Every structure is written in structure tokens, then in C-alpha cells.
Amino acid sequence: MIRTKLGLLGLCAVVVGMMAMSVSAAQGATLSWLVLNAAKTVATNLKAEVLGKKDSEHLTLLTKLVGIKVAITCTNFALNGVFIEPVEKVSAGGRVVFTGCEAYENNGTVLGPNLKCEVSTAGTAIGTIESNKGVGLLELHTLAGGGTEVLTKIEPEVAGGPFATILLKKCVLPESNKVNGVLFVKDCLGFATTHKTEHLIVQGPLTSLFVGLDTVEHLETSIDGSAWIRLGGAHVGLDWSAMDV
């Protein structure tokens, strides 16, 4: 059965829905990652590793394939080689590895019909999805109702390439499924206003994802769930933010 964590995640979902009418990037914005020193007296723009941990019980890719509403759910994830760097970039080359992944119809039925659909990507174990290399950039968007919000735009490193090619075996679905498009990430707790050790992220407005062909079905493709991100390496425990400076 597909479940998501309620409470804060539910609140985030409401906020994302309200922000969905945001429009093009604001002009004249200067965006920067800022990391506070241990004394919390100096904020510096520098390169730092980003680590992640789950918040919601599942991270789920919701989509529609050959007329069937599908949910690919994963129980955990890890960031591999993801770095923020001056001034407003997410370094090219980072990957996301999802584990404990299974495919369901949206009513919670395991796809099969008699066996679980085997979910993987090329070279990974069953139940593991490894993304292709990505790249990112901070963007400031003006909201239709007034105000702005800082988002992180994530795309495949290879322009026009897929985020991942998900393999579904022993299924009624296509075996090879490319996840394409662009993902915007937002911080429910105020990425652009407050330095924090950890930030709670969800899919943000302006995201446009599709699996397979870019048809009307891509409107039904989204990522459900939330995750915490923090700094690693030499910057463990430091507060950080993404700000319009």
C-alpha cells in the first residue's frame, strides 16, 4: 500500500499547490549559496557536499504508462557526489540512488499480475534506481499573488537526456521507461530566508516531468514525498541557505 507522511508533508503539499501559479524568473536577482561558520558570524559562498535522508515513509514517482496509473515507490535514497558551488550552482555529476523500490497501480495493487514487477536501472540490483548525472542552478521566481521564492532547478547533465531509465520487468508495463524533463525543488521551511542545518525539500512549482513520450500523460507525472538535506564533509553541522543577495 502506498503511504506518505502527513502533518508537515501535508502542509508542504498545500503550499506547493498554492505556489503552482508562479511565473517566469524574476529579473535582476543575485542568488547565492551561503554557509555560516561554526560561530554563526560569517556567511561564505563555497563548494560543499550535500547529503540527504528521507522524511516521508516513501518517495514516489507518480505517472501514467499505456493508460495505467502507476506509482513507483522507494523506501530510501542517498545523494552521491552532489555539491553546491559558487555562486548559485549545483555541480554537474551528482546522482541520486533510490532503494527499496517497487511498482504499484495507484490503488495500491502490486503490478504483476502474478509476480511483483521488478524495478531497477541498468547495472543495479532489483529494487534500486540510480539516476543519471545531474546539474542544478538556483532560480528566483515571482509568484502570481506577489512575492518571490528561491527554487533549485535540477536537470540531467546531458542536455535533453533522461534523469533515469527505469527498467520494469515481469510487468504489464513497457520494460524501458525514460524519465525526462526538469525538476524544481523547494524548501518548505524557508530556504531563502533562514540559515538551517537541515532543509526540508519537496517538488516545487514549475516542475515538468514525463515518462516515455511527452504527451498529455506527462501532466500526471510528479514526485510525492519529502526529504531532508544537509551539508557533509568538512561542513558537517554548519547552517546554510540559498538567498537573494
For the chain, the 3-state helix, strand and coil shares in percent, each to the nearest 5, are 10, 50, 45
Q: How many CB atoms lie within 10 A of CB 96?
A: 21
CA distances 142 to 90, 148, 192, Å, are: 21, 4, 13
Question: Does the pLDDT value for residue 65 go beyond 60?
Answer: yes
Q: What is the pLDDT of residue 24?
A: 38
Confidence of residue 121 (pLDDT cuts 50, 70, 90): very high
Q: What is the mean pLDDT of the chain?
A: 84
Confidence of residue 14 (pLDDT cuts 50, 70, 90): very low
Question: Does the pLDDT value for residue 140 go beyond 80?
Answer: yes
- Provide the grid cell at 202: 519537496
CA distances 3 to 73, 170, 222, Å, are: 9, 24, 15
Higher local confidence (pLDDT), 36 or 115: 36
Going 233 to 200 to 33 to 158, the CA torsion angle's sign is: positive
Q: Average the pLDDT over 158-186 and give the result.
A: 94
Confidence of residue 191 (pLDDT cuts 50, 70, 90): low
Candidate from 54-68, 69-83, 96-110, 146-160 with smallest mean pLDDT: 96-110
**Cα 173 from Cα 38, distance rounded (Å):** 51
Q: Average the pLDDT over 49-64 and give the result.
A: 95
Task: For residue range 77-114, list pLDDT tens digits in order.
Answer: 999 999 999 999 999 999 999 999 999 875 555 554 44
Helix, strand, or coil (residue 16): helix
Q: What is the pLDDT of residue 19?
A: 35
Q: What is the pLDDT of residue 23?
A: 34
Q: What is the pLDDT of residue 95?
A: 98
- Is the separation of the CB atoms in 187 and 55 below 8 Å? no
Give the residue extent of every domain in the chain.
8-244
